Amino acid sequence: MRIYDIESPKQIKNMSIPQLVELSNDIRSFLISSISKTGGHLSSNLGVVELSIAMHYVFDAPNDKLIFDVGHQCYTHKILTGRSRQFTTLRKKDGLSGYQKRSESIYDCWEAGHSSTSLSAALGYAIARDIKKENYEVVALIGDGALSGGMAMEALNDIGSKQKKMIIIFNDNNMSISRNHGGIEQRITSVRSSQIYRGIKHDIKSNLQTNKVGTSILNAMTSVRDIVKHDIINAGLFQDFNLDYIGPVDGHNISDLIKVLNTAKEHDGPIVVHVLTKKGKGYPYAEKDKVGKWHGVSPFDIETGRSLMKLPNDELTWSEIISRTLMDLARKDKNIVAITPAMAQGSKLLDFEKTYPNRFFDCGIAEQHAITMACGMAAGGLKPFVSVYSSFLQRAYDQINHDMARMDLPVVVGIDRAGLVGDDGDTHQGVFDISMLRSIPNLILSQPHDAKEAQNLLYTAFVSQKPFCIRYPRGNVHYDKVDQYELIPIGSWTRYDVGDKPICIVISYGYDVDNVIHKAKENSISMIVINARFFKPIDTIMINELCSYDLPIYVYETDCKIGSLSSAILEYINTQKHILNTIGIEDHFVNHGSIRTLRIQEHIDTQSLFKEIIEND
């Protein structure tokens, strides 16, 4: 069957096993060819081709709910649900999303982009099904990387308690984006390396014959030692959560996958199917990848594996600039440590890990833990740097507020991929961190406009001994290493005068400062351009000066407007001109006391309101 002829998964249900194997080979070739032109998530999708085919062969989507954790590995699912012709538009404007998208297809019952959400969503679907007395299967596919996320652990605990009928497919490829880390991974690894796991058939059979699920699998499978490992069934991770377990099964053997999924479908409660896959299967460069280079790719040459996207010789990505600066500072200060929640490759921290292995900490997909662990390090006298994508930082708001800022601990957070990230879509756009962080007391929030400022801001952050966030975008910029680091005054902005008689004032930040200056010169427009490198605190002296001019002011920002830089400026201007009289808690944390006492202390009781009204009358 030609891939472009597939319009519905029903078309594969009458195919023979050899035909399905041929289809899997065709899909894998199609994915390599297509992604080499458009870019996208390659290795994760190559690893689940047979598994996705088996899922659609056994289950009846869209009636049955197929949920892909994160969703980046759903390309075969999209092909089988009639979207192959749209792959030329993958991750382009108005084109095919790189993730499941409810608005895109009835077969996409869930959508995500962040990890570890699938199990909670699946349990929710199962509860809704039972309350409404409906009849469908709920299947969640989750990888070993996503399983390390705290939300997944919370869900497993609740699933084991509620005992709803659902199937969890555990896609075990021993990687998330790069190598996995942590106790969960060690527990899984101990299972992988156990004596029975390596092939002692006799004990497997004797254990299988003692339970209903095991007996059915024993009768169904072609190779027992590749399917069930009794030490997991009796004492493994999933059994600890009161979940039945079958597996592991070869994730590239369609026949075995179909048999084990059919057996799981007959089970009354929650059951885990452990599937072993090879990330990047079918493309040698991706198969050999140990650090996540082939997880998400730009267009590349299939023969050589080389990216078709080349940076100019004098440019580096913002992530590389921060990483190089961190390396240099760490060389001079042995208390500097680096932390990442499973993003060492993307955040360009692999060189730091190689150079300072005892000062590098990959804590897995655990943003909350990463921040609070950094806080503990800071309280213990270290100087931690946490690199985390803006979109994923949303998960750690409580830890930044409660642990980092409230205790005023000197943790430096590098907010990578800040601003628009483009083709990864709405789940990854880093446009909310300014609004999210501005409300937190004690916190310093900044963004450099060029490479020199990036280096000096990171230096300033460590010297400040304050909770300090530096955001920087996806992309690249001209780079020259600074000869001598310079402290940047906290909260300071910089003014640039373009021309002699300015007609307006433009306040901006990041690389757009230089873009505005260049455009103004190009069009011979005189203006004052402000590099507002600090979002918190803001430069109130500069604002007062600018407001004294009889010139229109434009705040040019490329992030969410609500709670943004313009909001901060307007809030300050209002305190000076009293256009709007505001009553509320000021920028600090509130200690304990009765509610009545605290309302009086913070001047938010009605007596304080009327006092201000009378005084201003």
Q: What is the pLDDT of residues 130-184, one digit of tens each?
A: 999 999 999 999 998 899 888 999 999 999 999 999 999 999 987 644 555 555 5
Co-location of 401 and 337 in the same domain:
yes
Strand partners, 296: 41
pLDDT tens for 363-414 read 988 999 999 999 999 999 999 999 999 999 999 999 999 999 999 999 999 9
Residue 603 in any domain: the answer is no
Q: Is 72 annotated as a binding residue?
A: yes
Confidence of residue 228 (pLDDT cuts 50, 70, 90): very low
Answer with the one of 431, 450, 478 that is the final residue of a domain.
Answer: 478
CATH number for the domain including 553? 3.40.50.920
> According to the annotation, is 219 in a ligand binding site?
no
Write down the H helix ranges in 67-117: 75-80
Whether residues 10 and 127 share a domain: the answer is yes
Q: Which residues are catalytic?
A: 279, 367, 395
Same domain? For 431 and 527 the reply is: no
Give domain status of residue 38, yes or no: yes
Identify the domain containing residue 380 by its residue range.
Answer: 315-478
Q: Are residues 259 and 361 in the same domain?
A: no
Q: What's the one-letter identity of residue 81? A: T
- In the beta sheet, which residues pair with residue 169? 141, 273
Query: 183 and 84, same structural domain?
Result: yes
pLDDT at position 200: 30
Domain boundary among 444, 478, 512: 478
Q: What is the pLDDT of residue 606?
A: 85
403 with 443, same domain: the answer is yes
- 214 labelled as ligand-binding? no
Q: Is the pLDDT of residue 224 over 60?
A: no
Report if residue 379 sits inside a domain: yes
pLDDT at residue 193, rounded to an integer = 45
Q: Are residues 521 and 570 in the same domain?
A: yes
Q: Which of 181, 187, 188, 127 is nearest to 159 (CA)?
A: 127
| Residue 302 placed within a domain | no
Greater pLDDT, 55 or 150: 55
| Domain presence at residue 390 | yes
Residue 617 lies in a domain: no
**Residue 615 assigned to a binding site:** no
Query: Tens of pLDDT along 232-262?
Result: 433 378 888 999 999 899 999 999 999 999 9
CATH number of the domain encompassing residue 17: 3.40.50.970
What is the three-state SS of 300-342? ECCCCCCECCCCCCCEEEHHHHHHHHHHHHHHHCCCEEEEECC
486 marked among binding-site residues: no
113 known member of a binding site: yes
Query: Cβ(588)–Cβ(441) under 8 Å?
Result: yes
Question: What's the mean pLDDT in 215-238?
Answer: 46
Q: What is the pLDDT of residue 227?
A: 39
Is 145 annotated as belonging to a binding site? yes
Number of structural domains (the chain) is: 3
Q: Give the other-Cβ count within 10 Å of 18's Cβ.
A: 10
Q: Are residues 498 and 402 in the same domain?
A: no
Do residue 501 and residue 469 come from a single domain? no
Nearest to 457 by CA among 513, 517, 510: 510
The alpha carbons of the chain give a radius of gyration, in whole angstroms, of: 28
Q: What is the pLDDT of residue 615?
A: 86
* Residue 146 and residue 111 share a domain: yes
Looking at the chain, the whole-number percentage of residues with pLDDT higher than 70 is 90
Shared-domain flag, residues 360 and 503: no
Instruction: Please check whether residue 486 lies inside any domain of the structure.
Output: no
149 is in an annotated binding site: no
Asked whether residue 114 is marked as a ligand-binding residue, the answer is yes
CB within 8 A of 254, min separation 6: which ones?
Answer: 17, 20, 21, 24, 50, 53, 54, 57
Q: How confident is the model at residue 210 (pLDDT cuts 50, 70, 90)?
A: very low
173 annotated binding-site participant: yes
Q: Are residues 404 and 516 in the same domain?
A: no
121: pLDDT confidence band, cut at 50, 70 and 90? very high
For residue 266, tell me if it sits in a domain: yes
